Amino acid sequence: MKMYKDMNHEELVSLHDDLCKQYEQVKAKGLKLNMARGKPDVNQLLLSTDILDVINSHYDFGSQYEYCNYGILDGIDEAKEFFAKMLNTSSQNVIVYGNSSLTIMFDQISRGYTHGYLGEKPWCQLDKVKFLCPVPGYDRHFAITEHFGIEMINIPMNENGPDMDLIEKYVETDESIKGIWCVPQYSNPTGITYSDEVVERFAHLNPAAKDFRIFWDNAYLVHHLYNDKQEHVKNLIKACQEAGQPNLVFEFCSTSKVTLPGSGVAALATSLENKEDILKHMSIQCIGYDKLNQLRHVEYFNKIESIDTHMQKQASLLKPKFEAVLNIFERELEPLGIAEWTKPLGGYFISFMAMENCAKAIVQKCKEAGTLLTTAGATYPYGQDPHDANIRIAPSFPKLEELKQATELFVLCVKLISVEKLLE
Ligand code: PLP
């Protein structure tokens, strides 16, 4: 196979004819596939349905009957301990909420906006509020900051995490920068885990704004694909404590992609001072979250199945899907020099970089032949990828055979659009 860039005009035209024919054949099959969102498939969900039986009307509540009532705003002790262990911090630093970490993130931004952190001016009273956004990143983070009219600034990612020189420059000189979105382990969508040096530089930031916070969304902290090749991001809460700036970080996580998304439990970990401030606001918002679901998760993972065992079962379902996609990419695209992609060791996504100005056209071409991908540009603030090159591949949801079909169609569309670009 020849690299596309080494082909002459005639070769490209003939290749284009051939690829168009192949595309029409696939289109005629009338596929209906979806690789758009990183949802677990039904077999992954079935791994966790036993959790529903752990607490029932025969459960011996003993002294825990208060868990069936209002109250216990920051979560039951057992759940705080469970998350503290998971996040390698102290249970004193943890608040356990309801079913979604994204809701906690929204609330934290909302509180900064309406009331301010630790007595600082609410952001709604400022002329300008800005957030740093490592890119490509998680579209729902960007949607929250956009919703509050916060200006977002792209920060490029490299293999160690976001560009720290740029972050230090912005954070240390511009008081209107109030936060940064980070997915530090098996990042969405690049799969990158931030290096120890990056974490230390975060902990030693010297922000111009007193109310600058690092939004550390550790959504994929137990989501390893390979037992023998695990990445673990360094503990930022501890690093911030040691650097004498404990208030700098809000860390988020949930059991969404561990058990049942939408019916899991979410938590936040932060300094004691931040926690007290948050609880003041929370006490107006809520009388107490779903403590029975918290208990259900604790009982399940502490008494019935360890989280490691459970995540290995998840990995055994996910790994063949990641490998199927990566094998097709390697076989079909590697020799052609028209794309690059990540090979993650965990998380839910593969980040695909097409040639410049091709991503939108590839996604559209796939859609016309019956396969939905994440919208091109979604991985950037305002849905605008300045290079129109990044596509987030989410292998988890389709069945393996369907995933292979969708990936074959995807690589065909990548080839077709790349040839068209070269012929322009
Ligand atoms: N954070 C990241 C990075 C995610 O990828 C996702 C879901 O895909 C979430 C948060 C959502 O988490 P939750 O279900 O706890 O709201």
25 Cα to the center of ligand 1, angstroms: 37
The last residue of one of the domains, among 305, 335, 362, is: 305
pLDDT band at 187 (very low <50, low <70, confident <90, very high): very high
Cα angle vertex 135, ends 36, 402, to 5°? 20
User: What is the side-by-side strand order in the sheet with 390-393?
Assistant: 340-341, 350-353, 390-393
Residue 410 near residue 396 (C-beta atoms within 8 A): no
Range of the domain at 85: 53-305
For residue 71, the SS3 value is coil
342 Cα to the center of ligand 1, angstroms: 20
220 Cα to the center of ligand 1, angstroms: 9
Report whether pLDDT(168) > 90: yes
Residue pLDDT, tens place only, 264-323: 999 999 999 999 999 999 999 999 999 999 999 999 999 888 999 999 999 999 999 999
Does one domain contain both 86 and 194?
yes
pLDDT at position 397: 94
Does one domain contain both 35 and 60?
no
Residue pLDDT, tens place only, 61-81: 998 999 999 999 999 999 999
Residue 260: which of 409, 47, 33 has the closest Cα?
Answer: 47
422 Cα to the center of ligand 1, angstroms: 38
DSSP 189-237: TT-----HHHHHHHHT---SSTT-EEEEE-TTTT-BS-TTS------HH
Name the β-bridge partners of 392.
351
Other Cβ atoms closer than 10 A to 163: 17
Does one domain contain both 10 and 57?
no
pLDDT band at 1 (very low <50, low <70, confident <90, very high): confident
Residue pLDDT, tens place only, 4-54: 999 999 999 999 999 999 999 999 999 899 998 899 999 999 999 999 999
Torsion (CA) 93, 95, 96, 102 in degrees, nearest 10 = -110
Q: Measured from the CA of 104, which atom of ligand 1 is nearest?
A: 16
Does one domain contain both 316 and 408?
yes
- Residue nearest ligand 1's atom 8 by CA: 38
Does one domain contain both 247 and 374?
no
38 Cα to the center of ligand 1, angstroms: 9
Q: Measured from the CA of 253, which atom of ligand 1 is nearest?
A: 15
Does one domain contain both 365 and 262?
no
1 Cα to the center of ligand 1, angstroms: 40
The last residue of one of the domains, among 266, 288, 305, is: 305
pLDDT band at 2 (very low <50, low <70, confident <90, very high): confident
Spatial separation of the C-alpha atoms in residues 374 and 363, rounded to whole Å: 8
> Which protein residues touch ligand 1 with a CB less than 6 Å away?
38, 100-102, 138, 183, 188, 217, 219, 254, 256, 261, 266
Phi/psi for 333 (5° steps) reads -115, -30
- Residue nearest ligand 1's atom 11 by CA: 102
Does one domain contain both 389 and 402?
yes
Q: Measured from the CA of 102, which atom of ligand 1 is nearest?
A: 16
Residue pLDDT, tens place only, 381-410: 999 999 999 999 999 999 999 999 999 999
Does one domain contain both 152 and 26?
no
Does one domain contain both 339 and 398?
yes
For residue 97, the SS3 value is coil
**The amino acid at 20:** C
CATH of the domain at 335: 3.90.1150.10
pLDDT at position 37: 81
Does one domain contain both 367 and 325?
yes
DSSP 360-403: HHHHHHHHHTTEEEPPTTTTSGGG--TTS-EEEE--SSS-HHHH
Spatial separation of the C-alpha atoms in residues 380 and 133, rounded to whole Å: 8
Does one domain contain both 386 and 337?
yes
Name the β-bridge partners of 181.
215
Q: Measured from the CA of 349, which atom of ligand 1 is nearest?
A: 5
CA distances to 210, 249, 344, 369 from 363, rounded to whole Å, are: 42, 36, 22, 10
Q: Does the reported pTM lie above 0.80?
A: yes
Q: Which of 109, 140, 289 has the most ligand 1 atoms within 8 A of CB, as the residue to mutate? A: 140
Mean pLDDT of the chain: 96
Does one domain contain both 216 and 314?
no
152 Cα to the center of ligand 1, angstroms: 20
Residue pLDDT, tens place only, 332-351: 999 999 999 999 999 999 99
Other Cβ atoms closer than 10 A to 57: 4
140 Cα to the center of ligand 1, angstroms: 8
Q: Hunting for tokens 């097409």 — which residue is that?
A: 354
**Number of helical H runs and strand E runs in the chain:** 14, 13
Q: Which of 83, 256, 289, 293 has the most ligand 1 atoms within 8 A of CB, as the residue to mutate? A: 256
